[in-house]
Structure 1
Amino acid sequence: MKTVIAGALSALLLSAAVTAQAQVSPEDQIELRKAGFSYMAWNMGKLKAQVIEGSVEYNQEQVEAAANTIAAIANSGIGALFGPGTEKDVGHQRTRVDPALFDNMPDVAKLAGNMGTAANTLAAEAKTGDKDAIRVAFGEVGKTCKACHEKYRLD
C-alpha cells in the first residue's frame, strides 16, 4: 500500500511541477531557482557557524529550523525551475548552469535525489541535537551540492 501511495504522490508532484513550470517564464524560473539555492546556502552557513566552526553559539531551535529549511528546499521540486529556455541568460537574469545539465536529466535527477536524501538525514539528525551526527550529515549535504556543481555549474 505504501508503494502505491508513494507512486501516486510522485506522479502528483511531477504533474504539479510541470504545471508550475509552464506558468513561470524562463526569466522567473532562473530568478526563483537562484533565490531557492541562495536561501539554502544561507541556512547551510548558519549550520556551519554553529555546528562546524563554533563561531556562533549553538542554538537547537535555529539548527533544527535551518536543517528543516534545507530539506524543504531540497525536496520542493525546485528541479521544475530548470525548464526550456533557462539554459542561458534571460532578460535581467544571469545563470551559471552548464547547458549540459539539460541533456543529462536522468543524472541530474539522481544527484537531486541524493541531495534530498542527505538533506532529510540532516533534518533528522538536527532534531536529535547530536552535534557529531549533525556534522556528518552536514558534510553529506555539502558533498551532494558539490557533486552537482562540479558537473553542471559554470564558473
Structure 2
Amino acid sequence: MQIKQALFAALILGLGTGASAQVKPEDQIKFRKAGYSFMSWNMGKIKAQTIDNPSSFNKDQVLAAANLIAATANSGMGALFGAATDKDVGSQKTRVKPEFFQQQDEVRKLAVSFVKEANELQKVAATGDVAAIKVQFGKTGESCKACHDKFRKDE
C-alpha cells in the first residue's frame, strides 16, 4: 500500500510540469489558495460537529465535508506549484517558503501523508462514529499542519 501511495503522490506532484504550463503563475496561486481555503472551511465543519458541539453532529454533513477534503487532496494540486509561483505574482500573494521548491522529497513525503489521512477521514466519516471521526480528524489536521510548519510563511 505504501508504494501505491508514494507513486500517487509522485504523480500528484509531477503533474505540475504539464498542467501548470497551461495555467498562468498568478492563476496557479489563486487556484491553490482557493483549494486550501475550501478544505479549511470543510475541516471547520467537521470540527464544529465533532469537537466544538458534538450534539450538532450530522453524519451526512460531516461525510460531505470529508468527501470534499479527500477529493481535493487527491485532485493533483501539486500542479499549482509550478515555475514562478514561489513568490507573489500580480495581485496574488503566496505564503509558500522557497524551501518548498527546493526540498521536493520532503514535500512528497508530506503530500503522501496528507492524502493518506484525508482518504482515511473519508472512510471513517462514512461510519458515523463520532469518536473515531474525532481521532482521524486530528490525524488529518496534524498531517496538514506538518506542511504548514515546514513550508508556509507566517502572515
Amino acid at match of 2:114: M
Corresponding residue for residue 99 of structure 2: 100
CA deviation after TM superposition for structure 1 residue 13, in Å: 6.3
CA deviation after TM superposition for structure 1 residue 24, in Å: 0.4
Cα deviation code 1:54-98 (max 9, x no counterpart) = 177111111000001001111111011111100000000000100
TM-score between the two structures when normalised by the length of structure 2: 0.89
In 1, the alpha carbon distance for the partners of 2:146 and 2:55 equals 28
In 1, the alpha carbon distance for the partners of 2:87 and 2:22 equals 19
Corresponding residue for residue 151 of structure 2: 152
In 1, the alpha carbon distance for the partners of 2:5 and 2:39 equals 26
In 2, the alpha carbon distance for the partners of 1:10 and 1:110 equals 8
Which consecutive unaligned segments of at least 5 residues does structure 2 have?
none
CA deviation after TM superposition for structure 1 residue 18, in Å: 3.0
TM-score between the two structures when normalised by the length of structure 1: 0.89
Mapping of 1:42-61 within 5 angstroms?
A: 42-54=41-53, 57-61=56-60
Corresponding residue for residue 77 of structure 2: 78
Cα deviation code 1:10-45 (max 9, x no counterpart) = 887677553211100110000000000000000000
In 2, the alpha carbon distance for the partners of 1:147 and 1:8 equals 20
In 1, the alpha carbon distance for the partners of 2:9 and 2:108 equals 13
In 2, the alpha carbon distance for the partners of 1:7 and 1:111 equals 10
| Seq. identity, % | 54
In 1, the alpha carbon distance for the partners of 2:145 and 2:5 equals 28
CA 49–114 in structure 1, closer or farther in 2 if over 3 Å, else same: same
Determine helix, strand or coil for the equivalent of 2:56.
coil
Moved over 6 A (4+): 5-15
Corresponding residue for residue 125 of structure 2: 126
Is 1:68–1:123's contact at 8 Å kept on the other side of the alignment?
yes
Amino acid at match of 2:95: R
- Using CA pairs under 8 Å that are at least 6 residues apart, name the structure with larger relative contact order, 1 or 2: 2
Which consecutive unaligned segments of at least 5 residues does structure 1 have?
none
In 1, the alpha carbon distance for the partners of 2:5 and 2:153 equals 35
The reply on whether 1:20 has 2:19 as its aligned counterpart is yes
Is 1:49–1:56's contact at 8 Å kept on the other side of the alignment?
no
Is 2:86–2:94's contact at 8 Å kept on the other side of the alignment?
yes
CA 12–114 in structure 1, closer or farther in 2 if over 3 Å, else same: closer
